[in-house]
Amino acid sequence: MSVEIERKFLVKNDDFKSDSYAQKSIKQGYLNSDKSRTVRIRIADDKAYITIKGQSNISGTTRFEWEKEIDKNEAENLLLLCEPSIIDKTRYLIKVGPHTFEVDEFYGDNKGLVVAEVELNSESEEFTKPNWLDKEVTGNVKYYNSSISKKPFKDWA
């Protein structure tokens, strides 16, 4: 069983872009976005994946995750079957000490939302917080990609 342990933060400015060593264009949709499990289809540049995630633990940092690379053409066809509102974003990779932050800048109905995640080996693992990190939103379901596909950032009051 694969487990994902991550912390999630809002980003307060564009300073992260100059620290980025790579970026990729991502389109993703959800075949299922139930709170107890999600089934995601993602195309990231020239690669495609199907991912199943379980429900997060009480702190929101840890959950089951299974991912498999699939054919890009198959992924494009599966995106047509997804729930409404495909997510469009650019992911920036930034190395901070031994950790890599993934910063997602969203477009379309989620334009203006920028979220950073860092994967950890344990919930108590220490990491350096770069100066462009803002409020922590780990465990706040509102910021899950599966949630913003249903209620996009433009509709937040």
Closest CA to 94 of 17, 26, 36: 17
In which element (H, E) is residue 19 found?
helix 16-19
pLDDT of residue 157: 78
CB 52 within 8 A of CB 70: no
SS3 32: strand
Greatest Cα pair distance in the chain: 41
Task: Indicate if 30 belongs to the active site.
Answer: yes
CATH number at residue 133: 2.40.320.10
pLDDT of residue 35: 83
pLDDT of residue 1: 57
CB 138 within 8 A of CB 127: no
Give the range of the structural domain holding residue 87, as residue numbers without chain letter: 3-155
Active-site residue identified among 21, 30, 49, 92? 30
Decide: pTM greater than 0.85.
yes
Angle CA(108)–CA(113)–CA(114) in degrees, nearest 5? 120
Provide the domain count of the chain: 1
Which positions of the chain have pLDDT values less than 70? Answer: 1
